[in-house]
Amino acid sequence: MINLYATQIESISLHRVGNKNKNEAIFLSETPHSLNDETTGLLKEYFFKPFREKEENYFNFANDVDVEFNEMYKITSEIFADPDSIHANSKKIASYLYEQSNHPHIKSGEVYVAHLSGVLLDNVKVDAIGIFKSELKHDFIQFEEKGSNLDIVIQQGININKLDKGCLIFDTGKEEGYKVLSVDSNRYDTKYWLEEFLGVEPLSDDNFKTKNYLKFCQNFAKDVVLPAEDKQQEVLFMNRAVNHFAKNDSFEESNFLNEVMANPDLIPEFQNYKTEKGPKFSVEDVSTFDIANKAVSDARKKIKNVINLDTNIQIKLDFINPESAEKFVEKGWDEEKQMYYYLVYFNKEQKS
């Protein structure tokens, strides 16, 4: 888990990278940018806000042969070994990004390379390198006095409330290719940023396994449980699955299936589905791991626990107490009306 509250920007270098395919230029600043309190505060909010809001999906630098051949890994290692080299290496970073800017959709923009200190990663203080890019320009209005009148002047600039692209590279796990976080607001060129520039692949840690296994379960519920049972059982299956993850520190697949699968006949279906769809979620070989609590909390917020009926009525089932949905909600068929119904038992209505 990352905490950027006490993080300081020790140095920052600014460059501009055009689209090489369009013969746009690259501009490399000769010296680092001089920071003051005002710009530092604005830049910290501009750079760090997306990482506070985004789900933490970590990456590693990678290469088909060896991570040592990954260009960004090599530059990163040089900076961490000698932080004073960051400006010279920031030019290498900007130049390398320029070399990857060959697709006509890639936009020119400013590149910021920062040396960061005081980052808390899993409660351990580490240094980091921040690489950020601003691409989209927005019109804004300025005013200036002309004689006895106030005049409107249209100018262009970046929106400091929305970072276009960015990554944080943490000085930890060097042998595995460091730990990297990335954000990208413009999804049309994600491959260019993640694969061609950074050259990273998802880090298969406990957070990654927890998140992906729950996504896999959600798809199994939709593709198998729903057609075989009904919407109520689809929701209840995910209720049980999430609660199993929430109350356990470690995951073991056979225990999980015995606890959450109300219909034992669906266990072979689960195994077949895992063989077929598991690679899509990187869980085909995953059966035991330590559960990451934050990934469970994030998944719980995203999983729908509502039954939508065609009579414009919704039934919301509680993720915290799934047994209530099984004990006090019954589904039936009304012969006279030729319609399904849900029967809900309760003692009294609760005040909202």
- Phi, psi (deg, nearest 5) at residue 16: -125, 130
225: Cβ–Cβ under 8 A, 6 or more apart, which residues?
A: 233, 234, 237, 266
Q: 283 and 212 in contact (C-beta within 8 Å)?
A: yes
Q: How high is the pLDDT of residue 340? A: 84
* 327 vs 108, residue with greater confidence: 108
CA gap 167, 132 in Å, rounded:
6
- At 51-66, the pLDDT tens digits run 987 777 899 999 988 9
- Phi, psi (deg, nearest 5) at residue 274: -65, -40
Confidence of residue 42 (pLDDT cuts 50, 70, 90): very high
Confidence of residue 325 (pLDDT cuts 50, 70, 90): low
Residue closest to 224 by CA, chosen among 189, 270, 271, 260: 270
152: Cβ–Cβ under 8 A, 6 or more apart, which residues?
A: 141, 142, 143
Lowest mean pLDDT among 101-110, 232-241, 321-330: 321-330
Amino acid residing at 175: E
CA gap 211, 332 in Å, rounded:
35
Q: Residue 270 above 80 pLDDT?
A: yes
- At 152-201, the pLDDT tens digits run 888 887 888 889 999 999 999 999 999 999 998 876 666 889 999 999 99
Q: Residue 245 above 90 pLDDT?
A: yes
Q: How high is the pLDDT of residue 321? A: 61
Domain residue spans of the chain: 2-203, 207-344
Nearest-5° Cα angle at 95, 115 to 175: 55
Instruction: Give this prediction's pTM.
Output: 0.74
- At 276-300, the pLDDT tens digits run 999 999 899 889 999 988 888 887 7
- Phi, psi (deg, nearest 5) at residue 286: -100, 120
Task: Tell me the C-alpha to C-alpha distance, in Å, between residue 287 and each of 10, 151, 322.
Answer: 43, 67, 24
Q: How high is the pLDDT of residue 189? A: 67
Looking only at the bridges linking them, the beta strands covering 250-252 and 288-290 are antiparallel
| 64 SS3 class | coil
CA gap 248, 268 in Å, rounded:
24
